[in-house]
Structures are given as C-alpha cells and as structure tokens.
Copies of this chain bind each other. A is one copy, B any other.
Amino acid sequence: MTPTLVRTIAELRRLVAAARVRGASIGLVPTMGALHRGHAALMRRAREETGLVVVSIFVNPTQFGPHEDLARYPRMLEQDCELCGRERVDVVFAPPVEEMYPAGFRTFVEVEGLQNVLCGASRPGHFRGVCTVVLKLFNQVQPERAYFGQKDAQQARILQQMVRDLDVPVEMCICPTVREPDGLALSSRNQYLDAGQRQHALSLYQTLQHAQHQIAGGERSAAVIRQRMEERLVATPGAVVDYAAVVDADSLQPLASLRGRVLLALAVKFGATRLIDNALVDVPE
C-alpha cells in the first residue's frame, strides 16, 4: 500500500477530517525523515492503536543552530515513503519549509527550566524549535495519539511537559529505543559515521550498560557513576564528549545520590557527527 503523500496543511486537514467522519482515531508520528527501524517501530505501534496513521517528514529549520547540520541532514523522501508503505502508513505529510513557516512567522513555544540542560546546553534554541514545530503538527493533525522515541529522552520529557502545561488533547506515547544488534542506538545521523567511527560509537551503549551494572551492584553516588561514564567515553578513540550526565528523570537536574527514576544521558561527537544515547533506571530507595 502506498501512503498518500501530502504537501499542504489544507490537504492534510481534509484527509484527517474525512477519516474522522469514518470514526477513525488519528495517530501521528512526527519525524525528520531518513527513516530507520526506530521510526518503523513507532509506525507499527501507531498502526496497532489508531485508525489513520500520519507520518510527518519535515527537517525543521528552527531546531537547528547556525553551525549545525541542517544543510547536510539526509533527505530521502522516496525511500522514506517506501518504508512508510511497508508499515501501512496512511498519510505522509512532507510540507515545504514555506508551508510550515510562511513569511512573517514569529510565534514560539518554550518549556522553561528543562530546555537549557543536557542537549539544550550545547544546542541553544533547539528545543524551542522542537516544541514549536510539534505543537504546529498537533494543531494541524489533531491526533488522539502521538509517537516519539525514548532515544531523544530530553525531547520526550519536554514535549510531555508542553502537552501537560498547554492542555493539548493528545496522548503522548514514548517508545523504547531501537538498537543495532551490537547495541548502537539507531539514528539518522549514524550514516555520517565512517567504519572506524561506527565501531567506536558503540562506546555510548557500553558505557550506559556499565553504569547500569554499577547501579545494580549498589553504587548510589551520582558523581562516581558520572565520572566513570566520562572516563570510558574520553578513552574512546575519536570521541569528543559533550556531556555524560546523571540526572533526575523528571526535572533533568543533576543528582547527588541516586534515587527514584534516574536518567543516564550521553552526548558524544565523532568528527562532525553528534550522537546521543540514554538509559532510564529505577533506583530502589
């Protein structure tokens, strides 16, 4: 089945309204394209849970900084549509930039306090762009459910807060990170890596695994965990560490001692390619 490819908000609204008249619930999977098995897992869950599955493919300029990879970010709409077809997606919404940001656009959404830590610290304005485009997509599609990956842990946390604070009538479904057989988290940016970098990139997953073992073994000092994670990453050939963080999963603020739901989060650059990964750990009191 080939999904219907839609370029305009008006056409998107017509298709969604027609589905709603038929009694279908709507599932939205927002993406920037360059789709992989991680995205496919989101689509599969949307397919199971909703009647009309919409995948948006939009490389959102407002979430890229001036020196980031907006221009080289992979764009492969034809392949993406094929993957969506295999996952029985109904609608692919791939608007041009001027459809999403017409001349005179000037409204932004910010989630304060959560957006300037972790990835937000090295990517100022990133989550403001993410929140703004996701809220636009929510208003365009008005889905019952929206699907995001846990791989982008901070994004998931911020969007959940936005939905709660602004009373957006959508159920947020955060789905587990999908990994390569060796553990590397799937990412559209993995294709930037050369063979050596690809091998060393495994260090992120291994570092998270090691930290989880330390915690399972009784370690409760966030400083010890954090330092050990950083040491492992720094020792990885070609890796430049952006952050290795041990934070409260709700507030995203650094912890002293581990308790409750803890987020272990890493960001590492290999050459110009920035990779992230994370693990959520429930620490017994």
- A residues sitting closer than 8 Å to B (CB atoms) are 9, 13, 104-114, 131-132, 135-136, 139-140, 142, 161-162, 165-169
Judged by DSSP, the binding face of A is mixed
Centre residue among A105, A135, A136, A140 by max chain B CB count within 10 A: A135
Chain B residues with CB under 8 Å of A114's CB are 106
**Copy count, this protein chain:** 2
Interchain CB contact under 8 A, A169 and B107: no
Question: B107, B109, B140, B168: which contacts A139 (Cβ < 8 A)?
Answer: B168
Q: Which residues of B contact A104 (CB under 8 A)?
A: 161
**In the complex, what residues of B have CB within 8 A of residue A166's CB?**
107, 109, 132, 135-136, 139
With both chains docked as a complex, state the minimum distance between the C-beta of A141 and any C-beta of chain B, in angstroms.
10
B108 contacts A109, C-beta separation under 8 Å: yes
- Nearest-CB distance from A98 to chain B (Å)? 13
Q: What residues of B have a CB within 8 angstroms of the CB of A139 in the complex?
A: 166-169
Residues of B within 8 A of A165 (CB): 105-107, 136
Residues of the B chain whose Cβ atoms lie less than 8 Å from the Cβ of A136: 165-167
Question: What is the CA–CA distance of A166 and B136 in the complex, to the nearest angstrom?
Answer: 5
Which of chain B's residues has its CB closest to A165's CB? Answer: B107
Q: A135 to chain B: which residues have CB within 8 Å?
A: 166
List 6 contacting pairs A-B, 8 Å CB cutoff, sorted by A: A13-B169, A106-B113, A107-B112, A108-B112, A110-B110, A139-B169
Q: How far is the CA of A114 from the CA of B106 in the complex (A)?
A: 9
CA separation between A139 and B167, bound complex, in Å?
6
Docked pose: A204 CA to B189 CA in angstroms: 60
Q: Are A161 and B107 in contact (CB under 8 A)?
A: yes
